[in-house]
Amino acid sequence: MFDLKGKVAVITGGASGIGLATVEAFLDKGAKVVLSDYNAEDGQKHADRLSEKGDVMFVKADVSNESDVKALIDKTVDVYGSVDVLFNNAGIGAQGATHELTYEDYSKVIKINQDGVFFGSKYAVQQMRKNGGGVVINCASILGIVGEPTAYAYNASKGAVVLMTKSLALQYAKDNIRCAAVAPGYVESGMVNREALGEYYDNLVDKHPVGRLGVPEEIAHAVVFIAENEFLTGITLPVDGGYTSQ
């Protein structure tokens, strides 16, 4: 098993939801964690709070900006000396009719959800090859596996992440670099809650055979599992309460 104690993990979108839960999970395993997010106020606040739990640093980055992502990896190496794990978690959702979708809105989803994975993987792999190995974990989605009528751009971006994961795993296995993805179902986080969604909340719950939505800690646990299991690469692991089994 890949021992996370003392390893350096970079987690994008780390200031809330799945990302924040994963930051805490890696700290619990003894890793040094770089919490990265576009939201500097919340990111720094959580890094300060979690410093009592372990070695954590905040770095602001917009994952759709290549120079930001390069700077994130460079800063990590400057401070901690390596990058052992990257969790490409940052992403946005979008809903709406495709015939009304503007290119600007479509492109924004692709830039963050898909280009962000490319930029993170590119610069992390450069460092991991120097280290002698590492793990890239991508946050895909159940909507990278099955279609959703009103999620054209999101389906496109997350479907791409699933195959980008396989490609990276195949390319760099010889360099002792693994790549896998987690595909969450709907998770109680941010705007996904009963108060925000009203009647639609129950519709979402009904789509999950287990009869509830997930919680961020359940996804974080899967990310840790992927990181630790050295025989695991190239897969997309659904953590979805049975959503994609139907």
Cα–Cα dist 173/165, whole Å: 12
Cα–Cα dist 119/189, whole Å: 25
User: What share of residues in the chain are helix, strand, coil (percent, to 5)?
Assistant: 50, 15, 30
Q: What value, to the nearest 5°, has the Cα angle with vertex 237 and ends 109 and 187? A: 60
Is residue 106 annotated as a catalytic residue, yes or no?
A: no
- Sign for the pseudo-dihedral over CA of 122, 123, 124, 126: positive
- How is residue 55 annotated by DSSP? -
- How is residue 16 annotated by DSSP? S
Contacts of 62 (CB under 8 A, 6+ apart): 38, 68
- Phi, psi dihedrals of residue 60, rounded to the nearest 5°: -75, 135
Residue of 106, 154, 172, 186 marked catalytic: 154
Whose tokens are 């009963």? That residue is 194
Cα–Cα dist 233/138, whole Å: 11
Cα–Cα dist 112/26, whole Å: 24
Tokens for 96, please give them: 């709406």
- How is residue 56 annotated by DSSP? E
The residues that are catalytic are: 154
